Amino acid sequence: MEKLILIDGMVLIFRAHYAFVKNPRLTGDGRNVSVEFGFINTLLGVLEKEDPTHIAVAFDTDAPTKRHIEYPAYKAQRSAIPENLITSIPQVYELLEALQIKVFTVDGFEADDIIGTISRCADELDFKTYMVTTDKDFSQLVSEKTYFYKLSAHNEKIEIMGVPEIKDKWQVSRIDQVTDILGLWGDSSDNIPGVTGIGEKTAQKLITQFGSIENLVANTDQLKGKQKENLENETEQALLSKRLATIDRHVPIPVDFDGMKRQLPNLDKLKEIFIDLEFDRLGKRIIGEEFSVNQESSVSTSLRTIKDVKYDYRIADTIETRESLIKKLKSQQAFCLDCETTGLDPKTAKLVGIAFSFKSGTGFYVPIPNTGVNAQSALQEFRPLLEDESIDKVNHNLKFDLAVLKWHGITVRGKLFDTMLAHQLIFPDLRHSLDFLAKTYLSYSPISYSNLTQDSQMDLLQIPIQRIAEYASEDADITWQLYEFFKDLISEKELSRVFYEVECPLVPVLVEIESNGVKLDSQALVSFSSDLKDELFDKETEIYRLAGMQFNIDSPKQLGKVLFDHLKLAESPRKTKTGQYKTDAKVLE
């Protein structure tokens, strides 16, 4: 018997995205390739484990399906697809093409429908079919030859489910009753409504008794109370929900199994893609140990450093040079500032210097003397400039620098632009460090702090001023270049209002709150605590009265027994995997 693997492509893509959302896999030039990496890694795992003779991958398209037409709210609750995921999909298609794996897409039909159609045709031939997905809806497609190859949502654990396993899991006597369960229960992930008041267990009980939704709604006279009322009022909704949950197994596509035969990959094409995506281990896994992403390739991108660019960074360490710099900054509509400190706590960090930039490739570093009158004098020279409301101030991680200056007696004023906040709004799922942004958007690798301080073995105060000036001026220069890039992007993404009217104005407010602290009325808190204890005691007394017995309210096990064994508040209470009654807020509501 030949073995056919059918993969739900969109499920693997979303699974890969969320697996790396908190720690994305990035290339040297800052591109997020998490989706491509997660997708191909899972795909290779399945191929190596199952060694199929045939394979195909199905994807959804943007075109509406008959489900959307019949029920416009179908999947309407879902958030927009993350931008980095959208940009990764074409790359996934290229990977599949290089692997010479057949891809199916059909406008007006979902990947579920395509897989349902192919598996139906495979059932008529000598194939053992595995449907690779996490979607429980595929349970309805299982047969004696077709299996639900269920991936875990978070790891590589696999559960292969045939007819006996599906019947046991869904508590049905026939596989086609899965759609009846879904019709009554509904499906929040697809926004399928189901019937009010009917959950999974109740749906299973009703289908066990009546066999199908159609038979159930024809015999509601055998039901009682609210359940009877809801089913009679929502008969059409129940039937609609079943139709929405039912996978179409007759998609008009040519099912050519010869075209799904597993083939050797196009190694030249695959090598080119893996070098571009910097998939070194995956390359060695498929192409061989001789593969290396460091091979020369037209698609590889080198990052510039300070050695590769022309720049004009200057030190303003005298009264005359500071006066000249202040004069230049006053004539600008906006400038970037960047504070260099000895620590990360604004309250205790010493201010070593301030860097400024207002033009790409330029930077000025003002060292602040460590102690004495000279330190205050240098800062006071810049106070009118920093507190000038007519000049915009640009920074990366604005809150820290504003807090440092606040603790040194200066309140920065004027319209603010934080490049870190801007990037968080535009691309919330990516990293937001200055180093990452410089590599990603400027193709530039800045001087690292660890190199400057020799992996923190040196304090900033011990480092020659020329080196600090170069490092700080570069930071200010990079931040200015990012500002010029992001300010247009903020406008294009229609984020101007939330950025300029909410996010940036909130920064000095937070700095002010943290600087002032919060005054606590300890006596009022003691009094309030006493009132809460009295109220809690009254609530406990009332609970014991209603229960007719005393028990440990904080014990979920005891609470469950009181509610469901003693008071019998639910006909079929839900239980945990260990057999204990569920008493979480969602259940109790």
- Spatial separation of the C-alpha atoms in residues 181 and 214, rounded to whole Å: 12
If pLDDT is split at 50, 70 and 90, which confidence band does 29 have? Answer: low
pLDDT of 453 reads: 74
Better-predicted residue by pLDDT, 230 or 24: 230
The pLDDT tens digits of the residues spanning 374-396 come to 667 888 999 999 999 999 999 99
Percent of the chain with pLDDT over 90: 69
Task: State the CATH architecture for 2-260.
Answer: 3-Layer(aba) Sandwich (3.40)
- Spatial separation of the C-alpha atoms in residues 514 and 10, rounded to whole Å: 45
In this predicted structure, the answer to whether residue 300 has a pLDDT above a threshold of 70 is no
The pLDDT tens digits of the residues spanning 454-511 come to 655 567 778 889 999 999 999 999 999 999 999 998 998 889 999 999 999 999 999 9
- Spatial separation of the C-alpha atoms in residues 378 and 365, rounded to whole Å: 12
Helices vs strands, H then E, count in the chain: 25, 12
Average per-residue pLDDT for the chain = 90
Better-predicted residue by pLDDT, 429 or 438: 438
Pairing of strands 2-8, 54-58: parallel
In this predicted structure, the answer to whether residue 82 has a pLDDT above a threshold of 80 is no
Encoded tokens for 234:
């929502």
- Boundaries of every domain in the chain: 2-260, 306-516, 551-589
Closest CA to 339 of 405, 383, 394, 393: 405
The pLDDT tens digits of the residues spanning 406-420 come to 999 999 999 999 999
Give this prediction's pTM: 0.56
If pLDDT is split at 50, 70 and 90, which confidence band does 372 have? Answer: low
Lowest-confidence pick of 21-25, 98-102, 527-531: 21-25
Q: What is the DSSP letter of 566?
A: I
Q: What is the DSSP letter of 505?
A: H
* Domain 306-516 sits in CATH 3.30.420.10: yes
- Arithmetic mean of pLDDT, 340-357: 92
- Spatial separation of the C-alpha atoms in residues 589 and 587, rounded to whole Å: 5
Residue type (1 letter), 526:
V
pLDDT of 297 reads: 40
Encoded tokens for 4:
């056919």
Percent of the chain with pLDDT over 70: 95
Q: What are phi and psi of 166, to 5 degrees?
A: -70, -45
Lowest-confidence pick of 321-325, 412-416, 425-429: 425-429
Q: Do domains 2-260 and 306-516 have the same CATH topology?
A: no
- Spatial separation of the C-alpha atoms in residues 444 and 196, rounded to whole Å: 57
The pLDDT tens digits of the residues spanning 171-195 come to 999 999 999 999 999 998 899 999 9
Q: Cα–Cα distances in Å, from 581 out to 564, 568, 572, 573?
A: 8, 12, 10, 7
